[in-house]
Structures are given as C-alpha cells and as structure tokens.
Amino acid sequence: MSAKARIGIIGCGAIASEIVKAAVVGMINADIVALMDIYPEKCERLAKMLEKKPEIYQTDIDEFLKHDMDYVVEAASQEAVREYGEKVLRRGINLVVLSVGALLDAELLERLRAIARDTGAHIYAPTGAIAGLDAIRALRLVGINRVALRTIKPPKSLGAKVSEPTVLYRGPAREAVKRFPFNVNVAAALSLAAGKEAEVEVIADPNTTKNTHVIIVESVASKLEIKIENTPSPENPRTSWLAALSVIELLRRLTGREEVVIGS
C-alpha cells in the first residue's frame, strides 16, 4: 500500500465529520494532521475520533499551514476559500474546495489558478451533491447550448417560511450562490464543468424532506436530464449526505491506488 497522505481540514462541521469517520475506518488512506474552525470545540469533537491527535487551530492559517500536508480540504464557507485559498496553494498544497460558489468569482478563480500553475498544486472541486459532471465535461468538448438547475429543498433549509411550493429565486448561478451561499454550491460546480453559467431556480417546498436537484443540459451530442433526490445530512440539513460521500470518494481516489478506474 502506498504511503498515507496527510490531510488538513478547514471547517469542522457536517462534511468534515464524515471525512474523519472515513479516515478512521481506513476508507481513505490518510492521516488527518490538522483541523481548523472558528469554533475550535468543533475540531475537538472530531479529534476525539482519531487515534493520532491532529493539531487544532482557530484562525492562525500560517501555523496551520506549517504542517507537511498533501491536501487541505475546505469544508467551511465561501469566505474561507477567499481568506485561505491563496495561502494553501502558495505552499504547494492541493486544495479541495467544497464551497465551490466562491469559484464563480472569476477574478478569484484566475488568481488561484495562477498560483496553482506556479506551485504545481491542484484545485479540486468534488461533484458534491449532484451527478453527471463527467458527462457534462465531455459534452463541453463539442459545446453546450444550455445548462439549467432546479433545486428544491424544505423551506427551513433555505431560510424561508412558506405554506406551499414557492420559487424563491430564478436567475443566473453567480447571483444564486451569493443569495444562497450554503445551498447551491452545486450551481457553481455545474457552471464550471459546463463552461457556461447555469440558469438556476430555487424552490422551497414544505411537502418535502429531501434536497432535490434537477439538471438539464442541452448539447449537439446529448441532452441530459438528471434528477438527484438527496437525503439531508443529519448534522446539517442544508447539506446532502451525498456531498460528503462525494468528497470521500475523491479523497479515496487521490490517496489510494486504483488498478481499474471507472468513470472519467
């Protein structure tokens, strides 16, 4: 087995907790060496699960980054990507971004890309709570005419109080990730994969307990209609369980050695 990778995590909430559990059972071939959260007690909770205790940080990114790490996973907020992304990449450490909405800021994305190019680090945006980014990336090669996303969640997750299904937002992805920074990161991943800004609709539905995403992609080669009905994470109902599984699967691939690789 290859040497264990060394991972640091920024943001010790619902997604981080699933990553730590995956590391504990050996699903990811990695040691979690450092944790950071504005509420350090959240890191303490995760550190307790680990045999080798990681160091814990609150805001001191420079100390956090002194650890020898292969990957830093941002599972915090778009603000954390803006605050810490550059420093992580400057140290040549690969950055896994969950708050993908931040990357729709073209100026920030270009800055991060330039640093990654210089240092040889990579920026990874896992597929997250949706499916189909492999096909969408492939279709981009011949051009995509339209990308649309409809997200339907229980009103509470969207900070809404409604008694019947209600459209809270209809418009471009860039604005959607600003209005719903913790709910429609998938709109950003979709737009970045397609190379075209997604048209987004956000619906609060009091009759559902699921987080549902319906994606439509139109291209000369294929038309895709993908519906994903997600069970919310018990720790954070705005986040779907699949989002955590998606980053675990990405880390599993990155830190292991697969003889047969399925999917692009």
Ligand X SMILES: NC(=O)c1ccc[n+]([C@@H]2O[C@H](COP(=O)([O-])OP(=O)(O)OC[C@H]3O[C@@H](n4cnc5c(N)ncnc54)[C@H](O)[C@@H]3O)[C@@H](O)[C@H]2O)c1
Measuring CA to CA, which residue among 153, 166, 115 is closest to residue 230?
Answer: 153
Exactly one of 155, 213, 230, 239 is catalytic; name it.
Answer: 213
Nearer to ligand X, 184 or 203 (CB): 184
**Contact predicate 40/63, CB 8 Å:** no
Nearer to ligand X, 37 or 201 (CB): 37
DSSP symbols for 71-114? EEEE-S-HHHHHHHHHHHHHTT-EEEES-GGGGGSHHHHHHHHH
**208, two tokens:** 């559902």
CB of 14 to ligand X, least distance (A): 4
**Contact predicate 129/242, CB 8 Å:** yes
Phi, psi of 180 (to 5 degrees): -130, 70
**261, two tokens:** 């690789």
Residue pointed to by tokens 């994903």 = 228
Nearer to ligand X, 4 or 175 (CB): 175
- Cα 43 from Cα 47, distance rounded (Å): 6
CB of 233 to ligand X, least distance (A): 6
123: β partners: 95
Helix (H, G, I), strand (E, B) or coil at 30: strand
**Contact predicate 174/199, CB 8 Å:** no
Residues that bind ligand X (CB under 6 A): 10-16, 36-39, 42, 75-77, 79-80, 83, 98-100, 128-129, 182, 185-186, 189, 235-236, 239, 243
Whose CB is nearest to ligand X? 13
Residue pointed to by tokens 């990553």 = 19
Q: Is 122 known to be catalytic?
A: no
**Which residues does the annotation mark as catalytic?**
213
